[in-house]
Amino acid sequence: MLLPLVAELKRRRVFRALVFYGVVAFAVLQVIEPVMHGLRLPDWTLSFVVVGLAVGFPVVLVLAWVFDRCADAAGATDTAIGRVPSEGALPTAGLDLAPGALDELLRVDTEAWRAELPSIETHYDRFGERLPQALRDELEALAKRLADR
């Protein structure tokens, strides 16, 4: 169960970020101790730094994953409503998915979206002049994209 996760972390270069974080954390600890004593800071300062570095570890893990995904390292397919993961872009190793289940989850039903447009417009009308023009422009662009498909 962990082997596909480890392989995915290697593929997404998350381990590289974690090694870099470990080196930086080690350097911080090497510098903070003599500085702490030289400035006569209380002993709990070192504990505070260690806890801060420990809390930062999972944050770096998540951010490395997110940045890799946002950098278009994962393939995506353009649809009328935006981009969806392309075939093979999502790691499904170890998941018990029925054949075609992922395709159905990622399928964009343009007819359902067209049917939803009037209710979105009605909702927007409730805000009147207070609704940002950018939202109305985006809804208009969505309607055009849906009409083209």
- At 115 the pLDDT is 95
Contact 95, 106 (CB under 8 A): no
The confidence score (pLDDT) of residue 67 equals: 77
In the prediction, which pLDDT does 72 show? 61
What would the 3-class secondary structure string for the chain be? CHHHHHHHHHHCCHHHHHHHHHHHHHHHHHHHHHHHHHCCCCCHHHHHHHHHHHHHHHHHHHHHHHHHHHCCCCCEEEECCEEEECCCCCCCCCCCCCCCHHHHHHCCCHHHHHHHHHHHHHHHHCCHHHCCHHHHHHHHHHHHHHHHC
User: Per-residue pLDDT tens for 1-21?
Assistant: 567 767 776 776 777 888 899
Which pLDDT value is given to residue 38? 92
Rounded to two decimals, the pTM is: 0.50
Predicted local confidence at residue 116, as pLDDT: 96
For the chain, which residues score pLDDT lower than 70? 1-2, 5, 9, 12, 65-66, 69, 71-75, 90-91, 93-94
pLDDT at residue 97 in the model: 78
pLDDT of residue 104: 87
